[in-house]
Amino acid sequence: MRVAVIGSGNIGTDLMIKVLRGSGKLEMAAMVGIDPASDGLARARRLGVATTADGVGGLLAMADFAAIDLVFDATSARAHVANDAALAPYGKRMIDLTPAAIGPYVVPAVNLDQHLGAGTVRNINMVTCGGQATIPVVAAVSRVVPVPYAEIVASIASKSAGPGTRANIDEFTETTARAIEQVGGAGRGKALIILNPAEPPLIMRDTVLCLVAATSAGVLDAIVESVEEMVRAVAGYVPGYRLKQRVQITPVPPDQPVHTLSGDAAVTHQVSVFLEVEGAAHYLPAYAGNLDIMTSAAIAAAERMAS
């Protein structure tokens, strides 16, 4: 599949590098930006990739635009709305790395295949970095036992949060919370993000808390096995994704206030999962696992489409 990338910032440039380093299923056709002096466009030119600094309009004007099969959008939620509207008349498939969520939420290890079979979904959304890291864990728990409430906390290095990430903070929390419910299977989801200013920068850390009603020790063991299996699946396309420590499952006394979060007095246990995501350092620093997991998930989705 011939692909174009809209957005010549950190995420867009890392996407380009991953396509060029990839399995051969994707061919880099164009890099699109709006800043002629951006490092992403300069790097693309050095690598022999066609470029334009005229945004999506410049992409439409390219001579080989008709031959492009797929467009990655690594801009912002607001910009993606306009980009999608511009490309929709041409039927271009899109992978959206912003929180715009025009198309269905997709987490490759959880629900990618169900959106590929019919061939009718033109635009898929990669949720957020926190969503890609934590929703697989919520889904792993919910496939064993109902999850009335799930909460995630994503802690990322402040240096890895560029203007686009900072502009989308509100969309991050809203989009991730909805996807925790719709993809992860939780009855109610909540998402928090922390921009950690520590020096030297710390790699991405994620905490997942699920309230469950576990009926036996066997169910608790099954939850742990399901989470560990899911972590291995995500690590298949994000090599730096791993458990920071063993899955913890602790009893919840009937009088604890967490029951007001779930609305379910039958909750008996809290499942706590602690993750870290180290970046592959293709273009971004290794501490920027939050950006690497987005680009890695998007590449995994595109290569699956190509297959």
8 is in an annotated binding site: yes
61 is in an annotated binding site: no
C-alpha distances in Å from residue 247, one per residue of 10, 141, 198, 275, 278 = 33, 11, 26, 10, 19
160 is in an annotated binding site: yes
Amino acid at 236: G
88 is in an annotated binding site: no
The CATH code for residues 2-127+293-306 is 3.40.50.720
0.85 surpassed by pTM? yes
Domain extent listing, the chain: 2-127+293-306, 129-286
List, in order, residues 6 or more apart from 6 with CB less than 8 Å away: 12, 32, 33, 55, 56, 59, 71, 72, 73, 74, 75, 83
Closest CA to 183 of 124, 224, 239: 124
Other CB atoms within a 10 A radius of the CB of residue 189 amount to 24
Residue 28 near residue 19 (C-beta atoms within 8 A): yes
| β-sheet bridge partners, residue 202 | none
289 is in an annotated binding site: no
Secondary structure tally for the chain: helices H, strands E: 11, 12
Q: Are β-strands 2-6 and 27-32 bridged in parallel, bridged antiparallel, or unpaired?
A: parallel
164 is in an annotated binding site: yes
What does the pLDDT look like over 147-170, one tens digit per residue?
999 999 999 999 998 777 787 788
CATH topology of domain 129-286: Dihydrodipicolinate Reductase; domain 2 (3.30.360)
167 is in an annotated binding site: yes
Q: Pick the catalytic residue: 28, 101, 129, 191?
A: 129
Closest CA to 39 of 19, 53, 29: 53
Other CB atoms within a 10 A radius of the CB of residue 227 amount to 26
C-alpha to C-alpha distance for 253 and 90, rounded to whole angstroms: 57
Residue carrying structure tokens 């909805």 = 178
279 is in an annotated binding site: no
C-alpha distances in Å from residue 98, one per residue of 77, 165, 197, 234, 270 = 5, 9, 23, 20, 31
210 annotated active-site: no
86 is in an annotated binding site: no
Residue 100 tokens, joined:
């715009």
What does the pLDDT look like over 71-102, one tens digit per residue?
999 998 889 999 999 999 999 999 999 988 89
Residue 33 near residue 101 (C-beta atoms within 8 A): no
Per-residue pLDDT of the chain (307 residues; tens, 9 = 90+): 999 999 999 999 999 999 999 889 999 999 999 999 999 999 999 999 999 999 999 999 999 999 999 999 999 888 999 999 999 999 999 999 998 889 999 999 999 998 886 556 899 999 999 999 999 999 999 999 999 999 999 999 999 987 777 877 888 899 999 999 999 999 999 999 999 999 999 999 999 999 999 889 999 999 999 999 999 999 999 999 999 999 999 999 877 777 677 777 689 999 999 999 999 999 999 999 999 999 999 999 999 999 8
